[in-house]
A and B are shown apart, each in its own frame.
Chain A
Amino acid sequence: MEDTLQNETGTATAPEPAPESAPTISVIGAQPEIIPDSENDQLKIGLGEFEGPLDLLLYLIRQEQINIYDIPLARITDEYLRYLQLMKELDIAIAGDFLVMAAQLIEMKSRMLLPRDPLAEEEELIDPRTELVDRLLEHQKFKAAAQMLWSRSTVEQAVFTRAELETDKSNPEVAVGLFDLLTVFQEILGRHKEEIRLEIEREEVSMAEMIERLRNMVRSAGEINLLHFFEQARTRRELVVAFLSVLELVRLSEILLSQRETFGEIVARAAS
């Protein structure tokens, strides 16, 4: 604890190297790239290899060759915010994650700037950076572990076992787990939804077409049974159109309707 405090004052008095005032921060292997996605008419933005704020912080610490146990908060916060500015211009969704860290950094920075309460208990003298350093170290360990897993899987991908024997497939029911079942079920559900959405284009018969059809039928056959005419309608809508066209032709006095007996079949005949 003593050491850390001494180091800290050391950093404060020593002049800090002026941060590079490059307009954009270019990072090898972490260059933001803009990938135009013509299909969705969107711009996708890849932010290199920074998976989160801890990643970015570790990168900055390494780039600035800073001792991780004695982070000059002012300098690293500036660097961090500068990078964040760049990210903000590119991808707000990702920046959300990073903003929390920015706030924490600024809060820590301001706490470090405040003079220490000489009457404060020993416990309160704990360096505010301690927690961050712990998190960074922890994160770095898991990054290294991820590297190890990566190389293991690379070797493993070069190892092959024998091809499947015929018996492997002889009883596929048994080989299916609950997970497979759910996957298949999801697929079926998805397909079902599509089916519902599938609209069959119906042949629309316009009023004019229907009138023409009725007119032709009456003209060629002399007289027609209306029941037969209505039965030709394939849809409810067509039936309504057929009925309306009968009414229309009656109104225009082109056809006459007659009924031979009460409740009997109605016959349409040309008017003249």
Chain B
Amino acid sequence: MSEAGRAKKTKEVAESEAEAANAIVVEVDEASEIEGERELSAAELRGAVESLIFVAEEPIAARAIADVLKIDVTTIDETIGDLATEFDRRSGGLQLREIAGGWQIATRPEYHEHIRAYLKSKPSAKLSLAALETLAVIAYKQPVTIPEILDIRGVQSPSAIKTLLDKRLIVARGRKETVGRPMMYGTSKEFLIQFGLKDLSELPSIEDFQDLAGGGS
């Protein structure tokens, strides 16, 4: 009895999923009719999106995926959402994550030891404290000039700025319209990637650090 009930329920779920899939196909149908391309089923669409994210060299934006598949961004966004849930539910070695304004398939950090053992790689050299502090100032104050950075840090040596430029974590952002028209700097896309950020708004507010600072004494 209960066995049969469960079986029936599964069937119902399957049917409703199929319906949902059909609904998406209908939407897609209108969009791709002009192109004369075969419409994708929901499962196929998920597969296509996943494969594109996998193959993209850099984090790929939903917009770029939409352009390739000739499907509207809203549908792509939904599909990516579904995919992300799938990845999470599976909780395997991979994650689908949003980074630097795009999507990326990457390993989960907890498996880094095994990956390093296989790649025979060591963690790359960390930035010095001076460079990190300089980077923090630039990240929160951008666009910002070198004198402004040095003033906040209370030092006179701009060597950390060169390090950051060499590592492409910061880029020039035009000149400030003031005496001497000094160059202004801001963080780069590489910064977002290396620090695992979707965008700058994902950085915690600098005011949040005030509590930490005040609590120190």
Contacts and interface: CB of A to CB of B under 8 A. Distances in A.
A252 to B, nearest CB: 68
A55 to B, nearest CB: 7
Contacts of B133: 51, 142-143, 146
Contacts of B110: 158
Interface stretch (A34-42, A78-86, A148-156, A188-196): A148-156
B127 A145 contact: no
Interface string B98-112: 000000111111101
A54 interface: yes
Interface string A102-115: 00000000000000
Contacts of A157: 112, 123-124
A262 interface: no
Contacts of A53: 154-155
A51 B104 contact: no
B179 to A, nearest CB: 22
B212 interface: yes
B48 to A, nearest CB: 17
A145 B195 contact: no
Interface residues of A, number: 43
A198 interface: no
A162 B105 contact: yes
Given A61-B217, A149-B139, A162-B54, A52 B115 contact: no
Interface of B: 54-55, 57, 104-110, 112, 115, 119, 123-124, 126-127, 129-130, 132-133, 135-137, 139-140, 152-157, 168, 194-197, 204, 206, 209-210, 212-214, 216-217
28 contacts: A51-B130, A51-B133, A51-B155, A52-B154, A62-B216, A67-B217, A96-B156, A97-B154, A97-B156, A97-B157, A137-B210, A139-B152, A140-B209, A141-B206, A141-B213, A143-B133, A143-B213, A146-B135, A148-B209, A149-B132, A149-B195, A150-B126, A150-B127, A152-B197, A157-B124, A158-B110, A159-B107, A161-B107
Given A152-B195, A161-B104, A164-B57, 8 more contacts: A139-B153, A141-B206, A142-B136, A142-B153, A145-B136, A149-B132, A158-B109, A159-B106
